[in-house]
Amino acid sequence: MSKHPVGILLAAGKSRRFGSNKLLYPLTNNTPMLLVVAQKLASVLPDSIAVINHELVSYTSKLEQLGLCVVVNELANRGMGSSIASGVSASENAPGWLITPADMPYIKNETIKLLANKLSEGSDMVAPIIEQQRGHPVGFSQRYKDELMALNNDVGARQVIANHYNQLELVPTNDAGVRMDVDQASDIAL
C-alpha cells in the first residue's frame, strides 16, 4: 500500500449561484473546470478519486482517462459532507486523504504536492495558509477515517477540523489559488 494520501476531488455540488454547472465552464484550452482540477490532482496523486453527481456521469470516461477512480454520490443532495464520506469510504484503507473542491482551479500543483508530502511524512491534518487565512485542499490522516465517513451534511469537514483543531498543521504558502473558489462567473480569473 502506498504511503501517499489519496486525493478526493469533490465534484457533486449543485452550482446554485453560478446559474449552470460551473464545473463544466471552459477554462484553459477550452477544458472544463472539472477536468482542469482533476488533471492537477491526478498529476500529483495518481490514486485520486472524483466524487461526482449524476449530472456529471457523462464525464466518467474522461476522468478515468486522467487516472481518477470515479464514485457517484447517490446522496449528493445532502451536501459536501456526504461526498467526503463517499470518497473516504471508497478508499478506506488509504493512509490519508487530500480533499480538494473541484471549483478551485487556481491551486498550484506545488501546493498539492507540499500538502500531500506533509501527510506522507506523518502530519495528522494539514491545510494551506496565506495571509493568515486557511485555504484548500485540506488533508487528513487515517486517524480521522471514521469521522470523515460519518459526514452527511453541507458543511464538509469543518466539524472534524474544529474537533481536532490542535492537530491542524497550517502550512504557509504564497499560492493565492488556495483561497480562490468559483461560485459565480465573475470569479473566473482572466
Domain residue spans in the chain? 6-181
All cell numbers assigned to 9:
476531488
pLDDT attached to residue 1 = 44
User: What's the pLDDT at 183?
Assistant: 63
Q: What is the pLDDT of residues 21-51, one digit of tens each?
A: 789 888 878 899 999 999 999 999 999 999 9
Report whether 120 contacts 94 (CB < 8 A).
Answer: no
Give me the chain's average pLDDT, please. Answer: 91
Q: What is the pLDDT of residues 131-181, one digit of tens each?
A: 999 999 999 999 999 999 999 887 789 999 999 999 999 999 999 999 988
Tell me the CATH number for domain 6-181: 3.90.550.10
3-state secondary structure of 171: strand
165 contacts: CB under 8 Å, gap ≥ 6 = none
Q: Which stretches does DSSP call E strand in the chain?
A: 6-11, 49-52, 69-72, 96-101, 125-130, 133-134, 138-141, 168-172
Q: Which amino acid is at 83?
A: S
**pTM summary value:** 0.92
In terms of DSSP H, where are the helices of the chain?
33-44, 60-65, 80-89, 109-120, 145-149, 158-163
